[in-house]
Amino acid sequence: MSNDAPPEPWVRLRSVRAHPFVFQKMIREVDPRARPGDVVRVLDKGDHPIGRGLFNPRSQIVVRLLSTADQALDDAFWRERLRTALDLRRLLRIDEVTDAQRLVHAEGDRLSGLVVERYADVLVFELFSLGMFQRVARFADLLSELLGPPASLDRPGRPPAAWRRVVRADEQIERLEGFRVQQATEDANSVVIREHGVRYRVHPATGHKTGFFCDQRDNRAQFARFCRDARVLDLCCYSGGFGLAARVLGGAREVTGVDLDEQALQTAQENANLNQVRVEYAHADAFNYCRQMLANERRYDAVVLDPPKLATSRAEIEPALRKYHDLNSLAMQLVEPSGLFLTCSCSGLVSFDAFLAAVHSAARRAGRELQMIDATGAAGDHPVLLNCPESAYLKALWFRVLPRH
């Protein structure tokens, strides 16, 4: 920023906390020059600078704090933030086992409002703020430059090519933030990725969220290790991730996947065909399916329950906990004595302790005794800043269901 450039607009706070979200109630005064999407200097009530962030007065999060230094959020800043995010993924050596990973994890990478996934030669940008929407084209160019040409594990010998790009946002986020993503014009509706040797077809432009759940990568591999010659039930299976890992990596004897989303099940069947394995898929509500299997006295050696996000606001936390309680109570009853039960929650507003308590309560109701053997979260490409614990959204609880005495 040149010396003769006008000073950036400011936002003065009435209270300060060590968190990247600045809500309306925390703000004392806003510079009348500030426009939606602007970079603003954030000041405490004594006019001391505490950082810079992106401003949106119509959002629930009025300022997303991106830096705690008094520095310009210019092109050099964005380039360095993206480079730092990519350096972590290289440190983790994720590309040795997959060509699908999260390159930018919003607050976890100090880029609040932006998520970027990589699927083979496709970059998917999921936006949560107006400020990031306004800058996404530049981010795409910077990432393409920093990454170099794409290489796919599915076609390692192919010549270099340009990255395909998809930009997405949830409709509710668009309404709250005041922007609208145009439909993708590039041919990125379908791509095949590899993960630990398993092939998955991903639909980045139309699938749920960004089309695939990279966060469960390590959990899928760990689950597979328990499934040798097992009968496996994958509840809320989406495109078949856990079940396919159990079948292809783990050598499961039989796998059944259940989901209410017909399009997801079509993709799951495509994925089974890609890997030349047989998986049974059932189009059903998980609650009803569990009740029917209990009535049929059907049991499984390993059951994984990974429902979609059940709490999207604080008002939904208690209803979500009741759903977790009821669904877990049914699912764990389908596990054979001494079998494995893996249950997950991706609701960031539901704490680890609250989720564990819901599962414990469900076990008492079901008359089951659970032996906890592990508790995991998202893969390492979903880092968590300690001053933003909400970004540790994924909880995976691993249990052995003890025999009745």
Which residue do the tokens 């906390």 mark? 17
Determine the Cα–Cα distance for residues 90 and 264; give it in Å rounded to an integer: 31
Taking a C-beta distance cutoff of 8 angstroms, is the pair 235, 331 a contact? yes
The pair of structure tokens assigned to 26 is 């925390």
Determine the Cα–Cα distance for residues 120 and 163; give it in Å rounded to an integer: 9
DSSP calls for 44-76:
-TTS-EEEEEEE-TTSSEEEEEEESSS---SHH
The number of CA neighbours under 13 Å toward the Cβ of 228 is 1
Q: Is the dihedral of CA 279, 282, 285, 286 positive or negative?
A: negative
- Pick from 247, 301, 307: which is nearest to 278 by CA? 247
Q: 349: helix, coil or strand?
A: coil
- Pick from 134, 136, 125, 135: which is nearest to 166 by CA? 125
Taking a C-beta distance cutoff of 8 angstroms, is the pair 307, 236 a contact? yes
In Å, how far are 220, 232, 302, 310, 346 from 378, measured between CA atoms? 11, 22, 21, 17, 9
Task: Output DSSP code: residue 269.
Answer: H
Active site (annotated) includes residue 346: yes
Determine the Cα–Cα distance for residues 365 and 111; give it in Å rounded to an integer: 43
CB atoms within 10 A of CB 287: 15
Determine the Cα–Cα distance for residues 276 and 285; give it in Å rounded to an integer: 27
Q: Given 214, 227, 346, 388, which residue is catalytic?
A: 346
Task: Output DSSP code: residue 135.
Answer: H
Which residue do the tokens 């499934």 mark? 227
| Distance of alpha carbon 230 from the chain centroid | 28
In Å, how far are 17, 19, 20, 60, 286 from 27, measured between CA atoms? 12, 14, 14, 12, 44
- Pick from 214, 164, 155: which is nearest to 188 by CA? 164
The pair of structure tokens assigned to 94 is 């994720």
Which active-site residues does the annotation give?
346
